[in-house]
Amino acid sequence: MKLKIVIADDEAVILRGLRSCVKSLGDDVEIVGEAKNGSELLHKIEETKPHIVISDIAMPEMTGLDVLQKLADQPMCPYFILISGYQEFEYARQAVALNAAEYLLKPINEETLLQSILKIKKQIFGQENRDNDFGMESDEQKSFCVCALKSDISRQRDILRFLSYENYQAIRYREYVCIIFDAADFNFDLKVIHQKAREILKQMEQELQIEVWGGLGSICTGTQNIAASFKEAEKALQYNYFSDEDKIFCIKDRAVFPRPEGEGFSAEMEKLLHALRVSDQEAAQKAFALLCGYIRCDSMGVKEIAVMKLYALLEQIKRTLHHSEFEEMYDENVIMQELKNAERYLEATDYIWDMLHQFLSDPKEEKKKRDMFEIETIKEYIENHLSENIKLETIAKMIYMNSYYFSVFFKKHTGTNFKDYVAKVKMEKAYDLVQNTGMKMYEIAEQIGVCDQKHFSNMFKKYFGITPTELRRKAEKE
């Protein structure tokens, strides 16, 4: 039995792409109808009785959601894969409410669409044993829980693809990827959902090699309350900012941190300033840790409050010490941006401590010697890892600096920025291998961490004004 599919989009180029994608599945799948507006789509569905409908949401006459709504109560309603060019939470909410099988964003990833079709095919033809009860209850009876995930925004599609493979219902909304759990699958137990979210996050980080943080909202009843669960998940993410361990915080937990056993903020501030003046690193670190503890307790679980308090702490240090080297690197805009961009409170406090430690704790001659040793260590590391993707952040962590200061530090001591220096070393190595060895070009490219030989050739020519092949011919003639 063939899988019957109807496709719909008011843009001819998208329709053509959908047609090509579906046909790539072979003879087991048949496109039984195409439509360019909602009314035409409804007619095609009633005429052909497809198993699956792949439709854009925003179409003339009737939207894809309107068509689904008209058919939702019918016993033979096809599975809908809805497509949208907008990251609208309301669209996603309605799609969930109407039991859409999938909700995908343009530009459409062909692999994701094919996985969605195959997943539905298994459900239709009984190849999947999992009992799919989603859509059996009324919207008012269903219970949901939203988990908001935050990571590098450029990796959102990877996260969505991962969740799709694992059969989790997920959407992209603003800077988040949201998993919408059906609470019935977890016996309506938020702790069980929390544990499952932890497992998903851990697996995702391992497979995708990225850092992900999560916030979990409470269980809500009815699709009309999904947005409320999302808002709680977003708030829980803020609590998560202050945690040193758990990467996924639940709204039902409380961001309560014990107050440090110090002498109070003012007294510890005086101790820190004195320790910085006399270059007492141990005393400075102890006082700074206590101050950071006070700020965390007084921030009421709100990241913005913590950021402002940390910035005020740094301002007070600057005003009091009048240290020329400290003031030289003090850029208010950069500092505030770094504090805002920190994903964790610990990351923000480490950033400030790096500034204090680097500029105020070492005598100048000792600092100069240490700086040169670190520069040589970095250069040696680069020489020994040319086949890898050498990142500024990785090197910065190696020598316990934040990325911003390391960038300034490296340029100050080498006269060039880090990225240009790495490119220079790689290109010089490639030049030597082309000129003095018989290695093949793709092997040389791999030696300097470039997988594509054509890209390597273009890079080489841009850098030296000659292609590697031309250089080798020239060397062989000489």
Q: What is the pLDDT of residues 194-221, one digit of tens each?
A: 999 999 998 888 888 888 889 899 998 8
CA Rg value for the chain: 29
Dist CA 372 CA 295 (whole Å): 36
Which pair of structure tokens corresponds to residue 327?
Answer: 């003031």
Among 121-130, 156-165, 249-258, the minimum mean pLDDT is found in: 121-130
Contacts of 230 (CB under 8 A, 6+ apart): 89, 146, 148, 173, 178, 217
The whole-chain average pLDDT of the chain stands at: 83
CA 437 to chain CA centroid, Å, is: 42
Q: Which pLDDT band holds residue 286 (cuts at 50, 70, 90)? A: very high
Residue 301: is its pLDDT beyond 60? Answer: yes
Q: Which has the higher per-residue pLDDT, 381 or 89?
A: 381
pLDDT score of 97:
65
Choices 3.40.50.150, 3.40.50.2300, 3.40.1160.10, 3.40.50.1100: CATH for 1-132:
3.40.50.2300
Q: Of 253-267, 385-399, 438-452, which one has max mean pLDDT? A: 438-452
pLDDT in tens, 47-87: 998 999 999 988 899 988 889 888 876 767 788 998 887 65
pLDDT of 128 strictly over 50: no
Mean pLDDT, range 288-302, rounded to an integer? 88
Between the alpha carbon of residue 18 and those of residues 11, 91, 108, 373, the distances in Å are 11, 21, 9, 58
Helices (H) and strands (E) in the chain, counts: 21, 11
pLDDT classification of 140: cutoffs 50, 70, 90? low
Q: Is 109 left (phi over 0), alpha (psi -120 to 50) or beta?
A: beta
Give the start-to-end residue ranges of the domains of the chain: 1-132, 137-255, 265-360, 364-478
Structure tokens at 434: 């082309």
CATH architecture of the region 364-478: Orthogonal Bundle (1.10)
- Contact by Cβ (8 Å): 272, 287: yes
Quick count: other Cβ atoms within 10 Å of Cβ 110?
13
Closest CA to 332 of 311, 353, 356: 311
Q: What is the token pair recorded at 330?
A: 């003090």
Average pLDDT, stretch 13-25?
A: 89
Domain 137-255, CATH number (from 3.20.20.240, 3.30.830.10, 3.30.70.270, 2.30.40.10): 3.30.70.270
Res 248: pLDDT: 83
- Asked if pLDDT for residue 18 goes beyond 50, the answer is yes
In this prediction, residue 418 has a pLDDT band, given cuts at 50, 70 and 90, of very high
Count Cβ atoms below 10 Å from residue 368 Cβ, excluding itself: 12
Asked if pLDDT for residue 354 goes beyond 50, the answer is yes
Residue for token digits 């406090």?
A: 349
Give residue for tokens 């291998």. Answer: 433
Closest-CA residue to 167 (of 214, 125, 116, 218): 116
With 90 as the cut, is the pLDDT of residue 343 above it?
A: no
pLDDT at 298: 85
Q: What is the pLDDT of residue 385?
A: 93
- Tell me the residue ranges of DSSP E strands in 258-388: none
**pLDDT at residue number 275:** 80
Does the pLDDT of residue 400 top 90, yes or no? no
